[in-house]
Amino acid sequence: MKQVIYGNDGTPESMQLAEGNVPRPGPGEILIEVAFAGINRPDVLQRSGRYPPPPGASPILGLEVAGTVAALGEGVSEWKAGQRLTALVPGGGYAEYCVAPAAHALPVPDGLDMAQAAALPETWFTVWANLIDLGRLKAGERLLVHGGSSGIGLTAIQLARHLGVESFVTVGSAEKAQFCREFGADHAIDYKQDDFVQKVKEITAGEGVDVVLDMVGAPYLQKNLGLLRRDGRLVLIAFLEGAKGEFDLMPVMLKRLTVTGSTMRPRTLAEKAAIRDALLKNIWPEIAAGRLRPHIHATFPLAQAGEAHRLMESSRHIGKIVLEVKK
């Protein structure tokens, strides 16, 4: 099969197509003939040597795919050969065939094509686990999302609207702010033009928000804590601008704040399966009904994975970037 490899220097320019062996599904796994693969920040980090795959995972990049079932591993009964699906995978997505745990796959929702389906798993698994399971987000609350125009950000906007939550997002341009508002955000703040702390306080009459979903990291830590209301929750999912910093603990104590965070890839099979089940019950019917949807910014052929990574690193995109693996 064709697969994407990259050099020891970890640059986008080192990414190229190569021949590899088709993997075999083990017990509880399925082999997927990949049509499209989603691109995510962890792929960029792994390529650059900052996010090694967990033990036993494929060294090939790619954490989400859409395609058809090519073969079943021992004990798999919920899927049949030829079925269309999308799946969260531990690695291996940038290839013509990929192995996934059967319990981490979902059907392609009605009305979506394969490219759109490939844009669903990583963002929805991440947003659900962090905003619902950890963040305990519920109707009537306020949510602040940093990186609002990213795949994660747009998914969080949609979840907030679905739950009846007032959403605030920060973005880096007027164009992205306008897009986020049109996509469903109640408030979009261009942090290059306005102080987002001041703007949120103005809009909320000084009250702040209940949950913050942050991917910036240390530079925003104190600001996030200051914006949280009593019993607020700060949920960290990345630290694009740094992981280490000092902050004043007093707001945490006075306002009974919760500071938490997680990564998806190291979670157990059972934990990811539970998230899959929750999405299948609560979110997939909404996607099939057209009330929730992904946004594809760009599609690249598999041979141009390096170009796709350069776009991801530039942060010029809005929403998801996907690779077309099989035409």
pLDDT bin (cut points 50, 70, 90) of residue 227 is very high
Final residue before a domain boundary, out of 213, 228, 261? 261
Range of the domain at 221: 124-261
Which amino acid type is present at position 80? K
Last residue of a domain, one of 261, 279, 296: 261
Distance from C-alpha of 205 to C-alpha of 231, rounded to nearest angstrom: 18
Query: Is 104 in the same domain as 132?
Result: no
Give Cα 258 to chain centroid, integer Å: 22
d(CA 174, CA 166): 20
Q: Are both 50 and 68 inside the same structural domain?
A: yes
Query: What would the pLDDT profile of 30-48 be if each residue is shown by its tens digit?
Result: 999 999 999 999 999 999 9
48 and 171 together in one domain: no
Same structural domain, 103 and 17: yes
Strand boundaries in the chain, DSSP class E: 2-5, 16-19, 29-39, 64-72, 84-88, 97-101, 105-107, 142-146, 166-171, 187-190, 209-214, 228-236, 258-261, 296-301, 320-324
Question: CATH code at 311?
Answer: 3.90.180.10
If asked whether residues 133 and 248 sit together in one domain, one would say yes
Q: Identify whether residues 311 and 284 lie together within a single domain.
A: yes
Strand-pair category, 187-190 with 166-171: parallel
Clarify whether residues 128 and 244 are in a common domain. yes
**Band of pLDDT at residue 240, cut at 50, 70 and 90:** confident
Contacts of 154 (CB under 8 A, 6+ apart): 123, 148, 180, 183, 294, 295, 318, 319
290 and 202 co-located in one domain: no
How far apart are alpha carbons 322 and 327 in whole angstroms?
13
Nearest to 35 by CA among 93, 122, 92: 93
Q: Examine the pLDDT at 317 and tell me if it is beyond 80.
A: yes
Taking only the tens place, the pLDDT of each residue in 262-275 is 999 999 999 999 99
- pTM score, two decimals? 0.96
Distance separating alpha carbons of residues 188 and 176, to the nearest angstrom: 8
Gap between the Cα atoms of 159 and 164, Å rounded: 9
pLDDT digits (tens, 9 = 90+) for 72-82: 999 999 999 99
Question: How many domains, in total, are found in the chain?
Answer: 2
Residues 205 and 317 in one domain: no
The reply to whether 133 and 199 lie within a common domain is yes
Please count the other Cβ atoms lying within 10 Å of the Cβ belonging to residue 87. Answer: 29
Domain at 215, CATH number: 3.40.50.720
